[in-house]
Amino acid sequence: MSARETQDQKAIAGEMFVQQVARANADLSASPLRVATIRSTKSRRDYILESTADEFYEAADTSLLPVIGIDAANLMRILRQLEVVAKRQAPRIAFKANGRILILDLADILAVQAEGNYVSLRLRPNAYLVHESLSSVAEKLKPYGFIRIHRSVVVNMSAVEEIQPLPTGEYMLRVKGGKEYLVTRTYKHNLRDLAQLWVGSERLCG
């Protein structure tokens, strides 16, 4: 590749970078955080990247267009949000109840409770009976943040608001809406998954 072609490609790359930064800059909040920033400056022949934290830069042509300032932390946050929206949708569950096939967001289900040969999907304020075993439902829901706390109860981790230790070594668990469920000693180790970070509670649910 000739030096001229290489120079042209650098110019094109610089143009694309500035356009991407400009689009991201439009979505930034009005109050930038105090973190390192990325500044993009474009000329006819080259472009410059400057970090206020590390103080490094590349030489660029002096006939420059206006500088675009962008908060690096906000840019990364926007990119992560766009990735989530593009690649993942909220998981949903379909089941037959009362002669109809219902489709609900899994986040709306607070708990699943065994009732004979059926399971009851507990929503607020409704409940739906589904002809399936709790073990089967628990296995299907496990990848979506549901944990077993009793031989007859599975709960949605995101719906749990409080757990209370009992003198028996068991726990009482409360979900959104105030409904309480007993956590037996057999399943209390699953309570560790309720939070990604435990502070000052290393022995809790041990």
- pLDDT band for position 204 (50/70/90)? low
* pTM for the full predicted model: 0.55
- Distances in whole angstroms, Cα of residue 170 to Cα of each of 29, 74, 183, 184, 188: 47, 44, 6, 5, 7
Whole-number Å distance between alpha carbons of 121 and 109: 7
Q: How does pLDDT run across 29-87, given as a tens digit for each residue? A: 444 444 444 444 444 444 444 444 444 444 445 455 555 556 777 777 777 777 666 54
What letter does residue 159 receive in the DSSP assignment? G
**Dist CA 206 CA 200 (whole Å):** 13
pLDDT at 40: 45
Decide if pLDDT at 138 tops 90.
Answer: yes
Do residues 111 and 177 lie in contact, with contact meaning Cβ atoms separated by under 8 Å? Answer: no
Burial of residue 47 (number of CB atoms within 10 Å: 0-12, 13-18, 19+): buried
Model pLDDT, residue 22: 56
* Average pLDDT for 113-126: 91
**β-strands 100-105, 68-71 pairing:** unpaired
Q: Which domains does the chain have, with CATH numbers?
A: 3-87 (no CATH), 92-194 (2.40.50.1020)
Which tens digit of pLDDT belongs to each residue from 151-187? 999 999 999 999 999 999 999 999 999 999 999 999 9
